[in-house]
Amino acid sequence: MSNDFSRRDLLKGGGLLAVGLMAPPWLSAVAKADIVRQSRGSKLNPDQVLVVCDLRGGNDGLNTVVPFTNQDYYKARPTLGIPADQVLKLDEALGFHPVMTGLRDLYQKGQVAVVMGAGYPNPNLSHFKSMDIWQSASPDGRMKNGWIGRAFDLAMQGGPLDPIAGMGLSTEKPRALMADRASIPCFAGLSDIQNMVGDPDAEKMLREIQGMDAMEGSATRAIQQANKSALDAMAVLKSQLSKYNQTQQYGDDAFGRGFKQIAQLVATSPQTRVIYFAAGGFDTHARQADAHSRLLKGFSDAMSSFMTEMEACGKADKVLVLAFSEFGRRTYENGSAGTDHGKAAPMFLIGKKVKGGLYGPRPDFANLDSGDLRFAIDFRQLYATALDSWMGSSSEVVLAEKFAPMNLLK
């Protein structure tokens, strides 16, 4: 068979053939989310948004939440230890890095839960393997898809999801969003959405190549309708985004740019339930002090601007941010003014519905695991909290095991 198809041939063929050959990757991705229907299961709560923030590279938890009264901390970090008089104190023993004024202010409002010692059994210190573990929520590797993807698969058993119910802001699709049936699209930025349906001629052609409606109930008809739904959803989102005027200033860094776009999505797209965002640079093996300070300031300032923006648009009580990193850093600094891969580290839940405070054990330098802080709280308990208490899902089904949610939400 010849591979030289003309546009006329594609229009005549229509349906699946045309979509497979002509549609851009984003269209086939969002379309799939609208195909699978019926059966049993629970739908996602339509009111609340989960924002997952990935601090990629292994964030140094000890210099993020500083044990400023612990002399072993300063002995282990003679040059990197944060001076006690500079720490933004949260209680009598722990405090934020001095650049994290924005997050400290949110903490004082009761909107930040800091969960100390998060991790998993037998931790892996490879970036790639540990990130796979966090994103699949499967330390033993039994589950290949992502925890968010599995939650969407479960939700689809109760009926179709909106094509943009979940979105990733990433150049590559993170494993957390991988699923068997649900397709969660990823975009490098919101400008990609604007460009995708911004050309009237291109959009017209994408609609035309669906061809005449196929027979009712056929697989081709389902694909056609799903693609049209996806195009409609993107067109509406593009229009909504263009009309929104933000109230806050965001930094010109990865976190500032990312949360500026996340704020636009939350404010203008009520269909979107989950947004996944990652920012790298946390692999601070050398010359850590300045680089880590910039990253923490960017994260903290972005959280402050984002939550203020959510207040302004009336969404503050509808948004939950879950922030994590694939592992922490070693308790002691290395010879290059940095820190190497460690194990346990803090996680953060941020939002107006959060029960703010410090949770989990204080760093224990007298009971280390080969020079690293021991994990005390399984990160899947935080996932269970988000799944059961925020997304309206079933963590026991999604995680294939029962993990007790933590009492972190109002």
Determine which of 6-15, 317-326, 336-345, 384-393 has the lowest per-residue pLDDT on average: 6-15
* 3-state secondary structure (DSSP) of residue 20: helix
**Of 396 and 171, more confident:** 396
* Cα four-point dihedral sign 87, 356, 45, 158: positive
With 60 as the cut, is the pLDDT of residue 331 above it?
yes
Alpha-carbon distance 330 to 60, whole Å? 8
**Of 381 and 239, more confident:** 381
| Dihedral, 8, 12, 16, 19 alpha carbons, nearest 10 | 30
201: confidence class by pLDDT, cuts 50, 70, 90 = low
Alpha-carbon distance 94 to 359, whole Å? 11
pLDDT digits over 249-300, tens only? 999 999 999 999 999 999 988 889 999 999 999 999 999 999 999 999 999 9
Tell me how crowded residue 103 is: count the other CB atoms within 10 A of its CB.
Answer: 28
Q: What strands lie across the sheet with 88-89, from one edge to the other? A: 65-66, 95-96, 88-89
> Would the pTM count as exceeding 0.85?
no
pLDDT of the residue at 40 = 29
pLDDT of the residue at 42 = 36
pLDDT of the residue at 403 = 97
Alpha-carbon distance 373 to 64, whole Å? 14
**Of 136 and 29, more confident:** 136
Alpha-carbon distance 408 to 157, whole Å? 28
Mean pLDDT score of the chain: 84
With 80 as the cut, is the pLDDT of residue 340 above it?
yes
313: confidence class by pLDDT, cuts 50, 70, 90 = very high
Tell me how crowded residue 188 is: count the other CB atoms within 10 A of its CB.
Answer: 11
Joined tokens for residue 173: 């699709």
**Of 129 and 12, more confident:** 129
The single-letter DSSP state of residue 195 is H
**Of 105 and 201, more confident:** 105
Percent of the chain at pLDDT > 90 equals 67
Q: Does domain 7-398 have CATH number 3.40.720?
A: yes
pLDDT digits over 211-244, tens only? 556 566 555 555 555 555 566 666 667 677 777 8
| Dihedral, 323, 329, 332, 336 alpha carbons, nearest 10 | -110
- For 401, half-sphere exposure in the C-beta direction (CA atoms, 13 angstrom radius) is 12
Task: Count the residues in the chain.
Answer: 410
* 3-state secondary structure (DSSP) of residue 289: helix
pLDDT of the residue at 32 = 41
Alpha-carbon distance 152 to 178, whole Å? 10
Alpha-carbon distance 21 to 193, whole Å? 21
| 82, 187, 372 from 344: Cα distances, Å | 19, 31, 7
Alpha-carbon distance 359 to 347, whole Å? 10
For residue 262, how far is the Cα from the chain centroid? 10
17: confidence class by pLDDT, cuts 50, 70, 90 = very low
Alpha-carbon distance 374 to 116, whole Å? 10
